Every structure is written in structure tokens, then in C-alpha cells.
Amino acid sequence: MSQRTIIPFGPQHPVLPEPMHLDLVIEDERVVEAIPQVGFIHRGLEKLVTKKDYTQFVLVTERICGICSFGHSLGYSETVEALMGIEVPPRAEFLRVIWHELSRIHSHILWMGLLADGFGYENLFMQCWRLREQVLDILEATTGGRVILTACNVGGVEQDIENGELNGICQTLDGLRGEYNQLLKTFLKDKSVRHRLVGVGYLSEADARAAGTVGPFARASNIPEDIRSLGFGAYAALSGFEPITSKDGDGYARCEVRALEVLQSIDIIKELAEKIPDGAINQKVKGAPEDGSYAVSRLEQPRGECFYFAKGNGTKFLERFRIRTPTSQNIPGMVQTLQGCDLADVPLNVLTIDPCISCTER
């Protein structure tokens, strides 16, 4: 009979850029159970709505997570706009989506790099991060920040991107696509990569539904759910949008879904850059949310569906603001994939859901 042992994993661990703790119950080399513990990054920032007024709070929401920073400011702004009935100018809607998709590209390439590092392909990790710098350069040129952009505000966006600059961005992205396709070949065709990913961390469609997974994690288990297909904001102007899915439900499928989404995002940006209308980029906001009013909004973050709730109380300070983030939805699914896997595959399994702990704990 093999003996049971508990191995602590984290919070400080070489493969985890963020602290997270797992108690792994193992029998020989096999994981029988994984018990996650969270709370290392909890800051309690939702409560800050009582200290910062609703226009300032967008700066706090940007700092929920440095990777999906723009998405959070967008989600918050949309919620408050719904709360106060503010109409956002169409050009601002387009710019928001362009920045949001750029963030998705940088987030996915970053993740692919971390994954490569996780399965021990250092060179690929470096190449991914080198490529990602091109996207950061675009972000820096258009907003002034590399990771925290401060581009979105309640009522619109902070700064405009000139049409000529948009063309330049499209050209940069075309160049990036060429280089990216080479990386893609390694990720999807290389034998050693396939060997490490195929069959690892399998989650069936039924299990993925039962665990309530979202985002690329769910789409890799053949659940075609993507909030972007509902057509919020400028997504409605797209000629068509089909979520990318895969049937396999393993680590390879998750890699494939995210890898292809990068190309899809490039297409979205290029299409929107062509269709973008001229006009104002900002709508002046006045007054305060009414007492007792509340609003919700949903957004497709790089890691999946994110849900926002805001409640007003008649003053400039919101009564309550709540976010449900994609990783908190995905942790139960991740724990399931860990059961029965080899100890050596644990880091890879944790990585394939693309955990964002600072979103989860806020």
C-alpha cells in the first residue's frame, strides 16, 4: 500500500509568478487531492469605493490586475455608465475595444511564454516575451504606460489615436503576425511541446460545465461561450465573430485556443481600425448615481467572463462595487484537473488555466 503524504506547493514557487498555495495530497507520485488556499494578495480594494469618488475609482480598478488592467477599467466604466445612463461617443467605443484587444494579445503571448517556461522550453519563453514587447510599444506610444494604461475613464477615453497612427498600428501587427506564426508552429506542431501538453489535465465538457468554468479554459473543453459574441460596445460593428473552441479539453487544447485567439484579436483590431467613425472621444459626466440604483455588466477578459456590479447611494461615492473574476470561476475546474495527475505535471496544470491570483483576491 502506498503511503499518503501532503506536499505544500507555494506560495513562493519558481513557476508561479504570483503567490498561491496548494496542499497536494499525494500517493507515491500521484496527486489524490489538491486543496487550494488563497488570501496572500487580498488587499480589500472593493471597499475603497467609500474613499474615492466614482471618477477616481477607475484608477483603482486598473490596478486590480496589471495584466488585464485595461479590461477592468473598461468593465468598471461601462458599469457606472449604465448606472448613470451615460451615452459613450462611438469613437470612444471603438478605441476601447482596440486597446482591450491589444491587452488580450499581450496577455495571451505572456501566458504562452510562461507556459513554455513551465514545460522547460526556455528559448520559447524568451521569444514570446520578445514579441510581446512590440505590443507594449504600441500601448506605450498610444497611452504613455506599458502595463497600467490609464486610457479609459467614465464617459469615454482619455486620449485619441489618430487615424494615421491606427494604420501604423495595423502595420506593426502585420509584422508581428509573421513572427508570431513561426512561434505558433512550434507551439502547435513541435513534438516535444505536444509530448508535454497532449492529454495533460483533461477536463470533459460535462465537468467543465458543472464546475462553471469560463473563458479559454471552458472553450478548450468545447463550450462555445464568449461574451464578445453578444456584441457589446464596438464588437457589434464586427462583420462576424465566432468563439474559438477545441474539443480535446487538455493542456494542448487550452494552448491552441489562446494561441489562435491572438490571431483573431489582430483581425478584430484591423477591422475596427478601418471602420472607426470620427467624432468626440469623451462625454462629460456630471452629477452622481441615484440612491438605490444599481447596474451590472459583463466583459470578456483574456481569462474569461468577468462580472461587475455597482450600486449608487446618491453621493459621488458608490455604495458597493463588486467584481467576479474569471480565475475564481476556474479554480474548481483546475482542482479537478489536478486530481489524479502526476506531481511533475502540477505546475503545468496550474498554468494552463492561466490563473490570475491578484484579480481573484483583489
Residues that bind ligand SF4 in the complex, under the rule CB under 6 A: 63, 66, 148
Q: Tell me the β-bridge partners of 323.
A: 308
Nearer to ligand SF4, 66 or 120 (CB): 66
Q: Which residue has the cell 489524490?
A: 32
Burial class, 8, CB count within 10 angstroms (exposed 0-12 / middle 13-18 / buried 19+): exposed
Q: How far is the CB of 223 from another protein (least distance, A)?
A: 26
Nearer to ligand SF4, 30 or 47 (CB): 47
Contact between 17 and another protein by CB under 8 A: the answer reads: yes
- CB closest to ligand SF4, residue no: 63
Nearest-5° Cα angle at 245, 243 to 246: 170
Is 330 a binder of another protein (CB under 8 A)?
no
What secondary structure letter does DSSP report for 47?
A: G
Please tell me the count of residues contacting another protein according to CB under 8 A. 41
Q: Is 133 in the site for another protein (CB under 8 A)?
A: yes
CB of 66 to another protein, least distance (A): 3
Residue 165 class from Cβ within 10 Å (0-12 exposed, 13-18 middle, 19+ buried)?
Answer: middle
Of positions 102, 110, 135, 348, contacts another protein by CB under 8 A: 110
Is 343 a binding residue for another protein by CB under 8 A? The answer is no
Whole-number minimum distance, CB 17 to another protein, in Å? 5
Give the three cell numbers for residue 16.
508561479
| 4 touching another protein, by CB under 8 A | no
Residue (of 243, 346, 310, 253) closest to 61 by Cα position: 310
> How far apart, in Å, do the first and last CA atoms of the chain sit?
43
CA pair distance 117, 110, nearest whole angstrom: 11
Stretch binding another protein (CB under 8 A), from 145-153, 159-167, 192-200, 233-241: 145-153
- Does residue 48 bind another protein (CB under 8 A)? yes
Q: Which is nearer to another protein, 150 or 282 (CB)?
A: 150
Q: Which is nearer to ligand SF4, 73 or 213 (CB)?
A: 73
8 contributes a contact to another protein by CB under 8 A = no
Whether 89 contacts 96, CB under 8 Å? no
Q: Return the residue of 2, 7, 39, 339 that touches another protein, per CB under 8 A.
A: 39
Q: Tell me how far apart the alpha carbons of residues 253 and 250 are, in angstroms, rounded to a whole number.
A: 5
CB of 128 to ligand SF4, least distance (A): 21
Q: Quick check: 135 binds another protein (CB under 8 A)? A: no
Would you give the DSSP letter of residue 287? S
CB of 62 to ligand SF4, least distance (A): 8
Query: Which one of 146, 177, 298, 324 is in contact with another protein (CB under 8 A)?
Result: 146
- Which residues lie below 8 Å from residue 34, measured CB to CB, with a gap of 6+? 22, 23, 24, 25, 335, 338, 339, 346
Q: What is the CA radius of gyration of the chain?
A: 21
Specify the DSSP element, H or E, that contains 309: strand 304-311
Residues in touch with another protein (CB under 8 A): 11-14, 17-19, 39-45, 47-48, 51, 59-60, 63-67, 69, 110, 113, 125-127, 129-130, 133, 136, 145-148, 356, 358, 361
